[in-house]
Structure 1
Amino acid sequence: MRILIVEDEKKLAGFMRQGLSQAGYPVEVCNDGSEALELAVKNDFDLILLDLMLPGINGFDFIKNLRVFGAETPVIIISAIVDSRQVVEGLNLGAVDYIRKPFEWDELLARIRTVSRFSSRSVQQKIRIEDLEIDIPSRKVKRGGSEIELTSKEFILLEYLARNANLVLTKNQLLENAWNMNFDPESNIVEVYMHQLRKKIDKGFETQLIKTVIGAGYMLKGNKS
């Protein structure tokens, strides 16, 4: 279950990211409502944990626009707001649950498990970018019709890049989401695996899909179908 945390309180967002990553959930964090909306519309998240008071656009407008763009991702509101009218407004707009801050960690995990069990949203099973095909259940990868053998970690890394195709992913994001590790500026594990992955995915092909964005991170670039 892939989760997007939309929270402008960076300390809380970091705490949530770390806890959910340790619980086995791939996690993205965004601190701005407008940027989070763009991220949510373009990517396949299974759940959004949403604060209401945000820079950019607030949580209410986030939910409205999310539905306008046709995204049916379940949203759990996490807010310090206690006005029942505003809570009801958020639920009426399409949120599936509301948790009041400060919250108990076990309660949050229980609410997430409930959404996971009862959500009717189907998980994307196959991803195709240009001539690259990724079959998630079988963990098989093909490019140009030829099968490519990847290690378990290489597959996890490629899947994460593919689900975020055409977005620049930082070294920190790759460590936290593909390795569930905290950022270590001295570690070169990302560079090593990206080098190996690029050799397997791009070597021998005219179009290079895996891009290094100097000073920023990495990106899997191509048309997604």
Structure 2
Amino acid sequence: MNILVVEDDPQVGAALRRGLEAEGYTVDLAADGLAGLRLAQRRSYRAIILDIMLPGVHGYRVCAELRAAGVHTPVLMLTAKDGEHDEAEGLDTGADDYLTKPFSYVVLCARLRALIRRGGGTGGETLRCGDLWLDPATRRCGRGDTEVAVTPREFAVLKCLLQAPGTALSKTDILDEVWDMAYAGGTAIVEVYISTLRRKIDAPFGRHSIETVRGAGYRLVEDGPLHV
């Protein structure tokens, strides 16, 4: 199972490679953003571990360029920065998860396994709500004849909503369903993903299908009122 690690600190990079190879992964290591970007575009990986503070091309740009090029390999971002705004910036560029240094290697492995599971496809019937559809087998979704590109984590959040259309799901419900047990952050991260999904599956189509239910969470409908 191929993993790409993009990390400019030689000691951290070498330690990650040793640890991941001991877990049975095959690891490519890139020491700067440009090298990581080129590898990710040329080779197929099950996941990418991407540091943000890189020489030359920083991790935010690497992730954004990969997504723009149609590369949807799950990305776990590593950073010495902290705070919700930093996390939101990373997620807005297309990252699937975020881990702040210093981190537990056990937690990193758990997050990585969760990303790979979510990125692997689960099978099952196509889920629908109006003209919105999601195919778990092919990991594709869209509206009508238009396919919409989403990250693995966005796909998982949308799948959670589509499995119970018309039902209000709390942030905790969504967090428990989509995020790994090792995730130590709060429920605010769910708001970030709801916002990105609205920008992808609602706004371009003039729809308002993800409702905010005050005091309860979020509900998926065929076409609801303006977002609040």
Q: Into which bin does the TM-score normalised by the smaller protein fall?
A: 0.5 to 0.7
Change in 2 beyond 3 A, CA 1:111/1:36: same
Structure 2: how far apart are the matches of 1:29 and 1:109? Answer: 17
The SS at the match of 1:41 is helix
Q: In 1, Cα distance between the equivalents of 2:72 and 2:121?
A: 8
In 1: Cα distance, 2:85 partner to 2:49 partner = 20
User: Relative contact order (C-alpha < 8 Å, sep 6+): which is higher?
Assistant: 1
How far apart in 1 are the matches of 2:5 and 2:24? 15
Written as runs of structure 1 = structure 2, the 5 A alignment for 1:75-94 is: 75-94=75-94
Tell me how far apart the structure 2 counterparts of residues 80 and 3 of structure 1 sit (CA, whole Å).
21
Tell me if the contact between 1:72 and 1:121 (Cα under 8 Å) persists in the aligned partners.
Answer: no
Aligned residue identity for 2:112: I
Question: Match of 2:26?
Answer: 26
Output the CA distance in 2 between the equivalents of 1:83 and 1:114: 22
Aligned residue type for 1:86: D
Provide the C-alpha distance between the structure 2 equivalents of 1:13 and 1:84, rounded to a whole number of angstroms. 25
- Alignment of structure 1 residues 33-182 onto 2, 5 Å: 33-120=33-120
Distance 1:110 1:90, change over 3 A: same
Cα distance in 2 between the residues matched to 1:67 and 1:86: 19
1:205-220 matches, within 5 Å, as none
Per the alignment, in what secondary structure is the counterpart of residue 61 of structure 2? helix
Residue type matched to 1:43 in 2? R
Q: CA deviation at 1:116?
A: 1.7
Do the aligned residues in 1 keep the contact of 2:2 with 2:47 (CA within 8 Å)? Answer: yes
> 1:161 aligns to what?
none
Q: Is the 8 A contact 1:80 1:101 kept in 2?
A: yes
CA shift, 1:121, in A, is 6.5
| Distance in 1 between residues matched to 2:60 and 2:83, nearest whole Å | 14
User: Distance in 1 between the 2:79 and 2:10 partners?
Assistant: 14
- In 2: Cα distance, 1:116 partner to 1:34 partner: 24
- Identity %, equivalent residues: 39
Shift of 1:78: 0.9
1:48-77: CA deviation from partner (whole Å, max 9, x where unpaired): 001001012001100111112111111000
Aligned residue for 2:81, secondary structure, equals coil
Is residue 61–residue 93 contact of structure 2 (8 Å, CA) maintained in 1?
A: no
The Cα shift of 1:92 comes to 1.6
Structure 1 stretches of 4+ moved >3 Å: none
The answer to whether the Cα contact below 8 Å between 1:74 and 1:119 also exists between their aligned partners in 2 is: yes
Distance 2:24 2:96 in 1: 22
SS at match of 2:13: helix
1:215 alignment counterpart: none
Alignment CA distance shift 1:38-1:77 (3 Å): same
More displaced stretch, 30-39 vs 79-88? 79-88
- Note closer, same or farther for the CA distance 1:56–1:121 as it changes in structure 2 (3 Å cut): farther
Which residue identity does 2:29 align to in structure 1? V
- CA gap of 1:42–1:105, structure 2 versus 1, over 3 A, is same
**C-alpha contact (below 8 Å) 1:35/1:56 kept by paired residues:** no
Structure 1 unaligned blocks of 5 or more: 123-225
Could you list the per-position Cα deviations for residues 69-93 of structure 1 after superposition, in whole angstroms to 9, with x for gaps in the alignment?
1111110001111132121011121
Aligned residues: 122
